[in-house]
Structure 1
Amino acid sequence: MARTLTILGATGSVGRSTLEVVLAHPHEFRVVSVVGGQDAQALANVARLVGAQFAALADERGGAELKVALSGSGIESGAGPSAILESVEREAEIVLAAISGTAGLGPTAAALKPGRTLALANKESLVCAGAAFMSEARRLGVRIMPVDSEHNALDQALAAGRNGDVEKAIITATGGPFRTWTREQIARATPAEAAAHPVWSMGSKINIDSATLMNKGLELIEAHHLFDLEAERLDVVVHPEAIFHGLVQWRDGALTAGLALPDMKVPIANALRHHERLRMDLPRLDLAAIGRLTFENADEARFPCLALARAALRAGGAMPTILNAANEIAVAAFMGTEIGFYAIPETVERVCSTFAGRSLPAPATVSDALILDREARDTARRFLSA
């Protein structure tokens, strides 16, 4: 019997890859609701393609356009926060949470319903409110399946042993577009150069996080909450070919790793069905054809955002929430050519230092996380305007 599915972020890169998986397996999934951001026509096309019952647009201004675009289809629609919440309230066995940024935090938390599977691609849910989010998921019996290739690979590798036997869980980074650049060259980088990811096709903000290696730092924080591993048992290794995605070093010296060609449909399919693997019509990994794979230590001198994220993870409490908020403001300023590349970590460090003396506890609820997020963003904006 087909499993019912709601897709939050259906018009983004993860959402589009999810649609490819769903359309390739029409007897496995029945899409109930789809949620998009601002593009009413794109969302209407998606809703018609998968035969959804309901389509919700985040931008209220596009509600009328969405309704017209769906005219005659029988698909209900809405726009704005209430429509998004309606989409997650509708009965569905699986929710794919791929709305990016803190905008996805509320809908993702609302999607936590008893007995559901949550295929999680919204990292802010764990970075900004990880303790509260995971506690609520456990209370409701929600199964969290990570969609990011690194965490999905770790989830599979960790099944080979017990958590207490893990010596180190390692996620990989391609190194981004500046892996071989000097610090002086990186300092002069333009937003277009920073957004040119060498392997993955993602949004501009995530691409720039990959260029600063902040993305890997945020993924360490995610891994801490997903797998109940402290900072000392989490690490990053640079692997430009993006074949290894996650590795587990066990206390007996053995290593278990998740390998795949860099295609988001692989972890998405696993997250949607997990132990019941779907047959995917994708190229197979041919290690002999590749011939050689390389690994390097991450250079935190050239990429200080990684060190800042590690420090926030070790500090705990509210610091990861503050780190993420400051980073989003700084990256937006860089994308707008208001600041240089290294002003991103400088801004994040200043904001984190400002809050450090207050010893704020981890947000107890998503609402608390959003309040703290706004305060940290305002602080970052003041620094940048000065």
Structure 2
Amino acid sequence: MTSRRGFLAGLMASGLAPAVTWAEVGAPDYLSAAQAPDGSYCLLGVGADGSIRFRQPIPGRGHAAAAHPHRAEAVGFARRPGTFAFVIDCAAGTTRAELEAPEGRHFYGHGAFSREGELLFTVENDYDAARGVIGVWDVASNYTRVGEFDSNGVGPHELRLMPDGKTLVVANGGIETHPDSGRTKLNIPFMKPNLTYLRLDGSLLEAVELEPALHKNSIRHIDVRADGLVGFAMQWQGGKGDQPAILGVHRRGEAPRLQLFGTDPEVAAQMDGYGGSVAFSGDGRYLAVSSPRGARVQVFDAETGALAQILPMEDVCGLGARPDGFLASSGTGRMIMFEADGPHDLGRSDVRWDNHLVPLARV
């Protein structure tokens, strides 16, 4: 494995922002990090049929990426608690910029662009103060950091831009960590996850929580339907004998509490308390959650919460929308497409897919 300094020296971008669009690199529907057979890491563009549209090297294991809404450019984030991220020109395979978390911070592996792509928002841990932060980066000035604001919680893991283009929704997982303690969770008895809606200037619009008995259910990943319905996946931090639901929905301004799907104990037990990724189907009818621990995907009716389908799949985590179904990726290299007529195995690639299939913005 080359050093980060050597990697940057070999892949340094030449200057101005590229004009190349996503259409010109194969019109991928998702981005995903992966590990190649030789142990190196890469960022791949993936089509809705599971095809690989491009493959570019990255200097270490990635967790997720943020895709620029117009040009073929992505920010790949290191796995938590990484302190750096790389801006990759997905056409040329060059690194345009490196983002360094400010002193006393680390990234959580996710980020999101503003609607026109002029700003990047990153979820961060201000670990000495035990508070979540949203960093703001100016894209035109080579990703210069221009501001930050409070995430309104602890452990913000993922954020998404809402359909109005003016609001961010943040999954504050509620878990306190500190680099001095590695990935140890420091506040489980007192954790308090929430789903928070913020204006792009950081002002608070709304924050909603689970009922107190479920305060150990860390809200981790989110997806947003075209009409603003938010789906969220959780990871249970309580006792192994408990089997809470790990999937829910919320609509801003309409409900003081979060609505949970899969509350039947037998249905919940299948997922082993762990939601890996969450996605709405392209038509918005269904909401799916994956579990690498439970080795399956559960699909629910997004309106009624009724369980519609179960897909067994070893080490499954990544989920992406298809027109009326989903694409799922696995750490074994396998891809499966599943819709109303059932699953279609797309075979195994030569890579080990990492946690997420990140959708490209529809603009």
TM-score by length of 1: 0.30
TM-score by length of 2: 0.31
The structure with the greater share of residues assigned to strand is: 2
The structure with the greater share of residues assigned to helix is: 1
Higher Cα radius of gyration: 1
| Larger RCO (alpha carbons 8 Å, 6+ apart) | 1
